[in-house]
Amino acid sequence: MTARTRARTRTRARTAVASALLAALVAGPLAGAAVAVQPGAAASGVVSSGGDVPADGGPDIVALEKALTGIPDGDISAALVRVGGKGGWTGTAGVRDLRTGAPALEHARFRAGSTTKVVTAALVLQLVAEGRVKLDAPVTRYLPGLLPDSFTEPPTVRHLLTYTSGLQPGANLGSTTEEMYPNRFRTLSPQRVVATAVAKGPASAPGERQKYQNIDYTVLGLLIEKVTGDRYEHRADVRIFRPLGMRHTGFPAGPDPRIHGPHHRAYTDIGGRTTDVTEWNMSDRWAAGNMISTTADLERFLVALFRGEVVPQPLLDQMFVVPDVEGATYGMALERFVHDGTEIWGKTGSRPGYHTVLAATRDLSRTVVYSVNAKSAREDGFPLVARFALPAFDRWTSHSE
């Protein structure tokens, strides 16, 4: 079979996995979150691919299909991958529920984690384009009283967007998944997070170093609300989600721990046991990481953003400027990454049981969005990126068979 023929063919492969595999994944009953396998249930995997490989090359479909093979496994229960640009491809694999073995859903909703920050950055830059916010103005111009006297030099809006504010992290409900799990239904407001952060004083002078953290974007969420006089979630909806037709993207209502609509169950290891962590109040992540979306919606947003349809081109160009700070890799929300000579801009997102990526070349010759339900979602995410994202940027070779 030639590479071109292979790329045009849509295949559906169901892989039966013995009940013993699921039994190995589930290490007994858990308080409040037991994962029990129905008798005779089998894990199912579906891989579907399609699209023409252009003459000048396309995504490495063989590697992408291989990445989805064998799911569910000991770590990953489901994976959704969408590749666009020159040569499109979609893949779905795994199960939506370990109890039943029901197959994964291509359009499932998921917790998109810190990819939310790209939406927040876009909202701020829209306000800049309208003359309501200035990039190099101190944040205290828009949030008076935000900073105590220990801040002799307040960070600017640009500093917040590029993770160079010098702020310290605020209060949290635990630094590890095991610590957070007992608190998963508690509420920690963004205002409380910010208040506890600024009370510590600055960690460094603004612009001195780049440190990726949530606090910068939590402050930006407050800025958006102050400037617009509206809730952050509603501004995201009316300014971005609705205009782009992102019908399955939004935020939970306050502390609501559920994902409404079709979705996959999420799992992680707590105390050495497989634990269902789907229901979780993520409101403390708010403008930094509380969005729920689908791969199709995130792809729509990514393409529109890079085309200059969300943020005007001059400001969009500034999103891709990495500060002149030692070790810096981020522009505004997005991180720069070079793979085999190809410059890629993207953002990862991780919550317990969920790992998400959106990434593209600036010219949109290649885009990738994925959501993976993985126990390792909050660990080092590079193995997942290497498995599910990087093959999208590898040039197609013939893979003669």
For 149-207, strand residue ranges (E) read none
pLDDT more than 90, % of the chain: 81
Burial of 380 (0-12, 13-18, 19+ CB in 10 A): exposed
Mean confidence (pLDDT) of the chain: 88
Q: Is residue 222 situated within a structural domain?
A: yes
Q: Note whether residue 294 is domain-resident.
A: yes
Active site annotation includes 114: yes
Does 304 fall in a domain?
yes
Looking from the CA of 369 toward its CB, the CA atoms found within 13 Å total 20
In a domain, 379, yes or no: yes
Q: Which amino acid belongs to residue 129? A: A
Distances (CA, A) of 41 to 74, 80, 273: 16, 22, 19
Task: Kindly state whether residue 92 falls inside one of the protein's structural domains.
Answer: no
Tokens of 370: 């994925």
- Is 26 inside a domain boundary? no
Nearest to 101 by CA among 27, 182, 42: 42
| Cα-trace Rg, the chain | 21
Q: Which of 371, 298, 395 is nearest to 91 (CA)?
A: 371
- Provide the percentage of residues in the chain whose pLDDT is more than 70: 84
* Number of compact structural domains in the chain: 1
**Which has more pLDDT, 5 or 130?**
130
**Measured CA angle at 126 (ends 124, 129), to 5 deg:** 115
List of residues 6+ apart from 188 with CB closer than 8 A: 171, 172, 173, 283, 284
pLDDT, tens digit (0-9, with 9 covering 90-100), for 86-144: 878 999 999 999 999 999 999 999 999 999 999 999 999 999 999 999 999 999 999 99
In this structure, the number of other CB atoms found within 10 A of the CB of residue 361 comes to 17
Confidence of residue 150 (pLDDT cuts 50, 70, 90): very high
Look at residue 277 and tell me whether its pLDDT is greater than 70.
yes
Half-sphere exposure of 148 toward its Cβ, with a 13 Å CA cutoff? 11
CA distance 295 to 112: 9
Domain span including residue 118: 112-393
List, for residues 223-253, the tens digit of each pLDDT value: 999 999 999 999 999 999 999 999 999 999 9
For residue 342, what are the β-bridge partners? 339
Structure tokens at 361: 């070349």
Does residue 337 sit within a domain?
yes
157-215 pLDDT tens trace: 999 999 999 999 999 999 899 999 999 999 999 999 999 999 999 999 999 999 999 99
The active-site residue out of 44, 77, 114, 283 is 114
d(CA 372, CA 370): 7
Given this model, what pLDDT does residue 56 score? Answer: 53
Q: Is residue 8 part of a domain?
A: no
CATH number of the domain residue 271 falls in: 3.40.710.10
